[in-house]
Structures are given as structure tokens and as C-alpha cells.
């Protein structure tokens, strides 16, 4: 079996092979190499990981992180994307991505995955499009006849027509005695599923030995906060609790302005700012307010930085602060050595003084 070779740095080009609707507001699509020589190679990743996708929209490259829903060692990667209010890239994919279209892809990454210690009883908890990484985990575990893992799969959705992968999940439950499917709907009309919220009582009803399981949780931030509290209250050992959500941190965009030739803009920047961010390689600088994020300053300075998740998860915005003071709210994907050397995730780095920055 030939394995696809991901470059250490920078994106590769993959081509959309097939695209189909999952629900009225979500689509799945697959990606494979464009070059003839690479066709037929398989992709390595750990179930639960994500890739960073770069797509040109209105002449500008936009990058976002999306979890993989397929299994490793297949010739195509599969993603499922849901329409979201104001979601420039997600909505473009749902409405406009075409089969045959090329996209840029950064290698799989992330710590939310099956290689984390989980024992042989797990619960996979998700809501909405958070189902994608846990679907990859469930399919991979079930595909191995020798794997002993017993899986409770709990998913929350608004209504039956919005359950992503519904038919596939039903077949998995039918075919595998160690896969228990539970779906909770806000409006259960037209189904036999429970209606309401995933309370502690509902979780316990679905899975009586929940306290003895490992949990993988993915979904919107509010849902994840409530589920984490529920699992804690139900006695789960939180050493075996893993979660992931791609929810961007609040942008501090109004606090930064490009120090450009535009006098009025420059004056406004001076009035607001009390730090300068300088990127020597590009001769670029931006004025920023103390406490604002480095990513906003770098984008204002128009340097080519990729910010896919803006949540301190994907690592795509890694750069190095060579001078100045800053604080970090995430060091995910950075090694101890890199942290020591001054590498930061720009989306999770807050400016504390004038800074000099080197891009990766
Ligand atoms: S954009 Fe993903 S870690 Fe910063």
C-alpha cells in the first residue's frame, strides 16, 4: 500500500472527486490527489483529526479547519460541512464547490483522536456537524473485527431530517452488536427518538455505565460546556475525557489598524494603539492595542499568515516572536522546544508590547 506523502510545511493540492447532500443544509465531499502518479495512494491520519482547507473565494485564499469523517488508509479523504450563519468558507463549500475543483490542503493535525488512552468502553457524544470526527472514530473501530471497543454513540440534532449520516448510523447499529446508537432531537416529530435536551438523566438512561467510560465530545461550545458538566456530575473520570470544537475566539479587529500611507487611518491607529507589530521579512508593520491578538495585527499588516480555526487548535497560524512581550492562551501543536524559542499561535497570542515577528 502506498501512502500519501504530506509535506512538513505548506499545503498540497487535492481535487474534489464527489460531492453530495447529507441534509438540507450540509454536504459531504471527497478529496484525492490531482496527479496521475499519486492516484491510488492512501491517506494516513488518526481518526478524530482535522485538515486545514484553503479555498480561493473572491480572489482571496481563505483557510479553515475541518474534521475528517472518513477512515484512514483510504484513497480519498471525506469531509462533511454544514451551512452556518456568516460562514464564508462553509457556505461557499455547500453552495459552490464543484466536483473537479482543486483546493489547498494542510496535513492532518489535532490531538482529539483515537490514539488517546480510552480503554475498551467509550461514549462518542456530538451535536450537529460535531458528528464528523466521532463518525471517523466509530467507523474505524467497527471496521476492525478484532477490536473489542464497545461504543455508545449519542448524537443531538434539531430534527430527524437534520441527522447527518442517519442511514449509515442505522446500518452500523444493525450490523454491530457493540455499537449502540442514541439520537436526541429538539423536535422528534416523525421519529421514535427521544425529544428534548441531553440531560444527565437522558445520558444515564442511554448508557447506564457512563461513569466507567472514556468520552470523546464534539459540537458547538454551549453544548460541549453542558455535556462536560453532565459527565462530571455523572462521575466520569475526566482523565479520559476528550473534546474539540472549532469556535473562533472573538475578533479584536477594531483594535488594530494598518499603519499605511492613509493619513486618516494612520491617525486613527495612533489614537487607538499602544504597540507596533513588525514583520522584518516582509517589511510590514501594524499598530495594535495592548491585549489584542497577534493574528489581527498580522492580517492588518497584510502578511501571508494562515489562520484556519482561530481557536488555538489547528496550528496553522504558528509564527515566532523574536522581540517583545506577549501572553499565550493556547500552545496546542507547539512542542516544548518551540514554546521555549518563542513560537506562538498568532490567534491565541495577545500583544503586551511592541513585537517583532518571523513567519514560519
Ligand atoms: S488559526 Fe488555528 S491555531 Fe491559530
Rounded-to-integer distance, Cα 296 and Cα 323, Å: 18
Assess whether 219 and 126 both reside in one domain: yes
Q: DSSP letter at 194?
A: E
Assess whether 308 and 271 both reside in one domain: yes
Q: How far apart are the first and last CA of the chain?
A: 32
Q: Shortest CA distance to 352 belongs to which of 303, 279, 268, 293? A: 293
Q: How much is the pLDDT for 273?
A: 56
Assess whether 338 and 261 both reside in one domain: yes
Rounded-to-integer distance, Cα 329 and Cα 204, Å: 34
User: Does the Cβ of 317 fall within 6 Å of ligand 1?
Assistant: yes
Domain contains 5: no
Assess whether 141 and 188 both reside in one domain: yes
User: Does the Cβ of 345 fall within 6 Å of ligand 1?
Assistant: yes
In the reported structure, the alpha carbon of residue 248 is separated from the centroid of ligand 1 by a whole-number distance in angstroms of 9
Segments of the chain with pLDDT less than 50: 249-272
In the reported structure, the alpha carbon of residue 259 is separated from the centroid of ligand 1 by a whole-number distance in angstroms of 24
Assess whether 153 and 223 both reside in one domain: yes
**CA angle (283 as vertex; 271, 356 as ends), nearest 5:** 70
Count Cβ neighbours within 10 Å for each residue of 92-122 and write b for 16 or more, e otherwise.
bbbeebeeeeebbbbbbbbebbbeeebeebb
Q: Shortest CA distance to 256 belongs to which of 293, 290, 220, 297? A: 297
Dump pLDDT digits (tens) for 57-87. Answer: 998 888 888 999 999 999 999 999 999 988 8
Residue that the C-alpha cell 456568516 belongs to: 86
In the reported structure, the alpha carbon of residue 355 is separated from the centroid of ligand 1 by a whole-number distance in angstroms of 19
Atom of ligand 1 nearest to the CA of 315: 3
The beta-strand segments (E) located in 68-112 are 77-82, 102-109
Atom of ligand 1 nearest to the CA of 313: 3
Residue that the C-alpha cell 450563519 belongs to: 85
Assess whether 70 and 149 both reside in one domain: no
Domain contains 205: yes
In the reported structure, the alpha carbon of residue 108 is separated from the centroid of ligand 1 by a whole-number distance in angstroms of 14
Q: How much is the pLDDT for 51?
A: 93
**CA angle (106 as vertex; 100, 112 as ends), nearest 5:** 115
In the reported structure, the alpha carbon of residue 174 is separated from the centroid of ligand 1 by a whole-number distance in angstroms of 39
Q: Shortest CA distance to 273 belongs to which of 253, 259, 287? A: 287
Rounded-to-integer distance, Cα 58 and Cα 204, Å: 49
User: Does the Cβ of 349 fall within 6 Å of ligand 1?
Assistant: no
Domain contains 334: yes
Assess whether 289 and 329 both reside in one domain: yes
Structural domain total, the chain: 3
The CATH number of residue 288's host domain is: 3.10.20.30
Please say which residue of 81, 109, 137 terminates a domain. 109
Atom of ligand 1 nearest to the CA of 333: 3
User: Does the Cβ of 306 fall within 6 Å of ligand 1?
Assistant: no
Probe ligand 1: pick from 348, 349, 359, max atoms within 8 Å of CB? 348
220: domain range?
Answer: 121-244
Domain contains 23: yes
Count Cβ neighbours within 10 Å for each residue of 274-306 and write b for 16 or more, e otherwise.
ebbbbbeeeebbbbbbeebbbbbbbbbbebebb
Atom of ligand 1 nearest to the CA of 330: 3
Rounded-to-integer distance, Cα 351 and Cα 358, Å: 15
Are residues 326 and 72 in contact, defined by beta-carbon separation less than 8 angstroms?
no
Please say which residue of 185, 216, 244 terminates a domain. 244
Give every strand in the sheet of 194-195, ordered side by side.
194-195, 179-187, 150-159, 121-127, 214-218, 241-244
User: Does the Cβ of 107 fall within 6 Å of ligand 1?
Assistant: no
Residue 229 CB coordination number (10 Å): 11
The CATH number of residue 167's host domain is: 3.40.50.80
Residue 38 CB coordination number (10 Å): 15
Atom of ligand 1 nearest to the CA of 52: 2
Assess whether 104 and 133 both reside in one domain: no
Assess whether 101 and 195 both reside in one domain: no
User: Does the Cβ of 110 fall within 6 Å of ligand 1?
Assistant: no
Please say which residue of 109, 135, 162 terminates a domain. 109
Reported as half-sphere exposure (CB side, CA atoms, 13 A), residue 325 has a value of: 6
Collapse the DSSP code of 88 into the 3-class scheme (helix H, G, I; strand E, B; otherwise coil) and give the result. Answer: helix
Assess whether 320 and 261 both reside in one domain: yes
In the reported structure, the alpha carbon of residue 308 is separated from the centroid of ligand 1 by a whole-number distance in angstroms of 6
Assess whether 134 and 214 both reside in one domain: yes
Domain contains 2: no
Q: DSSP letter at 15?
A: E
Assess whether 233 and 140 both reside in one domain: yes
In the reported structure, the alpha carbon of residue 53 is separated from the centroid of ligand 1 by a whole-number distance in angstroms of 13
Residue 224 CB coordination number (10 Å): 20
Reported as half-sphere exposure (CB side, CA atoms, 13 A), residue 185 has a value of: 15
What cell does 288 get?
A: 495594535
Domain contains 33: yes
Domain contains 177: yes
Are residues 226 and 156 in contact, defined by beta-carbon separation less than 8 angstroms?
no
User: Does the Cβ of 305 fall within 6 Å of ligand 1?
Assistant: no
What are the residues whose beta carbons fall under 8 Å from the beta carbon of 121, sequence distance 6 or more? 149, 150, 209, 212, 213, 214
Residue 158 CB coordination number (10 Å): 13
Q: How much is the pLDDT for 252?
A: 40
Are residues 94 and 103 in contact, defined by beta-carbon separation less than 8 angstroms?
no
Domain contains 343: yes
Amino acid at each position: 500500500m502506498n501512502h500519501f506523502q504530506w509535506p512538513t510545511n505548506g499545503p498540497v493540492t487535492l481535487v474534489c472527486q464527489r460531492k453530495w447532500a447529507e441534509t438540507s443544509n450540509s454536504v459531504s465531499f471527497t478529496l484525492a490527489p490531482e496527479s496521475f502518479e499519486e492516484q491510488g495512494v492512501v491517506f494516513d491520519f488518526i481518526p478524530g483529526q482535522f485538515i486545514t482547507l484553503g479555498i480561493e473565494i473572491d480572489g482571496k485564499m481563505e483557510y479553515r479547519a475541518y474534521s475528517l469523517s472518513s477512515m484512514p488508509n483510504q484513497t480519498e479523504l471525506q469531509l462533511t460541512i454544514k451551512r452556518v450563519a456568516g460562514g464564508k468558507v462553509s457556505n461557499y463549500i455547500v453552495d459552490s464547490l464543484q466536483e473537479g475543483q482543486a483546493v489547498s490542503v494542510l496535513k492532518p493535525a489535532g490531538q482529539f483522536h483515537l490514539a488517546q488512552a480510552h480503554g475498551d468502553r467509550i461514549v462518542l457524544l456530538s451535536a450537529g456537524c460535531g458528528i464528523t470526527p466521532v463518525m471517523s472514530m466509530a467507523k474505524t473501530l467497527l471496521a476492525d473485527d478484532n477490536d473489542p471497543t464497545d461504543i455508545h454513540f449519542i448524537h443531538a440534532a434539531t430534527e430527524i431530517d437534520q441527522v447527518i449520516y442517519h442511514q449509515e448510523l442505522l446500518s452500523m447499529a444493525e450490523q454491530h452488536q457493540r455499537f449502540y446508537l442514541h439520537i436526541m432531537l429538539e423536535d422528534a416529530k416523525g421519529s421514535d427518538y427521544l425529544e428534548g435536551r441531553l440531560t444527565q438523566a437522558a445520558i444515564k438512561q442511554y448508557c447506564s455505565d457512563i461513569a466507567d467510560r472514556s468520552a470523546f465530545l464534539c459540537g458547538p461550545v454551549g453544548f460541549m460546556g453542558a455535556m462536560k458538566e453532565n459527565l462530571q456530575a455523572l462521575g466520569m473520570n475526566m482523565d479520559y475525557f476528550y473534546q474539540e470544537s472549532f469556535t473562533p475566539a472573538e475578533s479584536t479587529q477594531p483594535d488594530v489598524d494598518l499603519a499605511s500611507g492613509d493619513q486618516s487611518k494612520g491617525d486613527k491607529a495612533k489614537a487607538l494603539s499602544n504597540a507596533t507589530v513588525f514583520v522584518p521579512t516582509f517589511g510590514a508593520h501594524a499598530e495594535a492595542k495592548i491585549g489584542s491578538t497577534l493574528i489581527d495585527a498580522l492580517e492588518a499588516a497584510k502578511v501571508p499568515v494562515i489562520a484556519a480555526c482561530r481557536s488555538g487548535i489547528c496550528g496553522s497560524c504558528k509564527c515566532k516572536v523574536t522581540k517583545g512581550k506577549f501572553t499565550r492562551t493556547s500552545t496546542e501543536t507547539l512542542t516544548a522546544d518551540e514554546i521555549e524559542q518563542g513560537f506562538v499561535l498568532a490567534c491565541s497570542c495577545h500583544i503586551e508590547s511592541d513585537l517583532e515577528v518571523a513567519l514560519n
